[in-house]
Amino acid sequence: MGYNTQTPMKLIEGVPIYTFWEPCPVAEAMVVQAGRIVAVGPREELRARYRGVKRVRLDGGAIVPAFNDCHCHVLALGIDLGKADLRGCTSIPEIQHRLREWAAQHPDAAWILGRAYDQNLLQEGRHLTRHDLDAVSRERPVFLNHVSKHGAAANSRALAIASITRETPDPPDGTIGRDERGEPTGILLESAATLVSRHIPKPTGVELVEAVHRATQDMARRGILAASDASTGWLDLQEEVSAYARALEQGAPVRLTLMPLYNAAARAGWLAHSESAGEATGFSPEPSAPHPDLRWGAIKLFADGAFTTRTAALREPYADTGTTGTLMHEPEELMERILAVHRAGWQCAVHAIGDRAIELVLQGYQRALAAFPRDDHRHRIEHAMLMADDLLDRMQSLGVVAVPQPEFLWWLTTAYRKGLGERARALMPYRSWLQRGIAVAFSSDQPVVPGDPIIGWRAAVTRTSMDGTCLLPEEGLEPLTALRLFTLGGAYATRDPELGILAPGAQARWVLLSHPPETVAVADMRVLTTSAHLGD
């Protein structure tokens, strides 16, 4: 019959299969073998062609390609899953209670660590200070990551370990919060957080592997079977790559694309170039990946901060602070970094949330492409949140890929409205991007948000937040269009032709949904199982 009998085939049937493959958009059955799709099509035709293979009948709404989270933080998620979870806390006493509980459960931990606090949700209406955290512990250092990952809060012990006093200057791209007497408050924005976090004991190699397993198992449960780590090298580039490879060798179920941070790539010597390198249409030689499901993606840079900490860089001031945010680099330095990445032949991905930051990134891409033209570069803007017509036009003309996170609308709209006022309506204009022919790939940025692709998918359709606020409903997408951006869109942004479709030759990474995908806005949509759980 022309197939390898040493590796059993399966014929999967029972529900409609949305392939996103033009020759057969919806199939009745699918044949898989050794993690690859052999055939899709009418059930009776495949039964006749592949007689004797094992049939697997599934019940549910539909099979679709697995979600591809093309901008998240895999290792950070795995590490965060071991910290006190502060997401959703609405008061400082509630945060203190959760931290005390965690500390009691981890008596041997040198630090008390928490994740995902959001001052925008607290009834006190402010960040936690060192005094709030001293009430949890004065003996052990306490360090909490802000939900945005663009800030932190520390107690007095943690500040002392980092030698942060009233005389400590702000780092160039960060802010140490201070009271009216100039004393540190414990609030640390942007790079100021690293003044403390670098003193937290680094995970061992074994702990890094365990963190990757925690993260990928958690992702697979939610239907995410491909993901891009958008900050590889934040601890140690070589150790992180080794941990990802070891976890995959041990059966981690998620295909991984690594996006090295600019400084890590520069230290590794990956941004060297010849005089003609930037003129090539392909990539310069990349470091080898030590596993078939471990790939290299774009080099990651930062242009600004986040809306939730009021550090995203704006053209006009925030509605509630009168500030305009923070640029991570001087404009010329940012453009030189973009040029270095482009000239070395890599794909470039720049974090830019505010309209001022997006404008600078587009200027950088324009300069780089003018100096060293390259077809199909697929340079990206990560988040790309506050848009304007002139920015949309420039994105289209330059061929830049937008990589937004629809789940932000569900969880963070309250903070956006506080900070931006009416300008919040201009956030992430999905339909306008597509109408202009701009490539779009949806993702989550987890653990900034929980990373539930169903919530993100629904938010892309309805543009509705958890409190019922709807921002610019006319920018919502049809369910199948939004789903494509979570699957095919991610494959395009990461240059991975093996994913995003259920077609012969593609990887057999799929999700069984509880309801037809067209009903995501109204149905209690769930992931029932995936190819990983079925063993495909």
User: Minimum mean pLDDT among 192-196, 283-287, 408-412: which range?
Assistant: 283-287
| 1-65+500-536 CATH fold | Urease, subunit C; domain 1 (2.30.40)
pLDDT confidence of residue 279: 39
Structure tokens at 99: 């931290």
Maximal CA-CA distance, the chain: 81
Element (H, E) at 240: helix 237-249
- Rounded to the nearest 5 percent, the helix, strand and coil shares of the chain are 35, 20, 45
Q: What is the pLDDT of residues 256-281, one digit of tens each?
A: 999 999 999 999 999 986 444 433 33
pLDDT confidence of residue 41: 98
Taking alpha carbons only, the member of 395, 525, 375, 356 closest to residue 455 is: 525
Q: Which amino acid is at 172?
A: P
Reported as half-sphere exposure (CB side, CA atoms, 13 A), residue 515 has a value of: 13
Three-class secondary structure of residue 461 per DSSP: helix
pLDDT band per the 50, 70, 90 thresholds, residue 15: very high
Average predicted confidence (pLDDT) for the chain: 94
Any idea how long the chain is? 536
d(Cα 398, Cα 421) in Å, to the nearest integer? Answer: 30
Evaluate whether the domain defined by 84-197 bears CATH number 3.10.310.70: yes
Q: What is the pLDDT of residues 373-422, one digit of tens each?
A: 999 999 999 999 999 999 999 999 999 999 999 999 999 998 899 999 99
Instruction: Kindly tell me if the per-residue pLDDT of 136 is higher than 90.
Output: yes
Q: What is the pLDDT of residues 445-500, one digit of tens each?
A: 999 899 999 999 999 999 999 999 999 999 999 999 999 999 999 999 999 999 99
d(Cα 498, Cα 216) in Å, to the nearest integer? Answer: 19
Percent of the chain with pLDDT over 90: 90
Read off the pLDDT of each residue in 5-24 and give the average, rounded to a whole number.
92
pLDDT confidence of residue 482: 98
Highest average pLDDT, of 170-174, 288-292, 406-410, comes from 406-410
Taking alpha carbons only, the member of 390, 525, 406, 518 closest to residue 471 is: 406
Reported as half-sphere exposure (CB side, CA atoms, 13 A), residue 527 has a value of: 25
- Domain coordinates of the chain in residue numbers? 1-65+500-536, 84-197
Q: Which amino acid is at 77?
A: L
Instruction: Kindly tell me if the per-residue pLDDT of 286 is higher than 70.
Output: no
**pTM (two decimals):** 0.87
Q: What is the pLDDT of residues 219-238, one digit of tens each?
A: 999 999 999 999 999 999 99
pLDDT confidence of residue 149: 82
pLDDT confidence of residue 288: 77
Percent of the chain with pLDDT over 70: 96
d(Cα 240, Cα 113) in Å, to the nearest integer? Answer: 21
pLDDT band per the 50, 70, 90 thresholds, residue 327: very high
d(Cα 340, Cα 368) in Å, to the nearest integer? Answer: 8
Peptide bond into 447 cis (omega under 30): yes
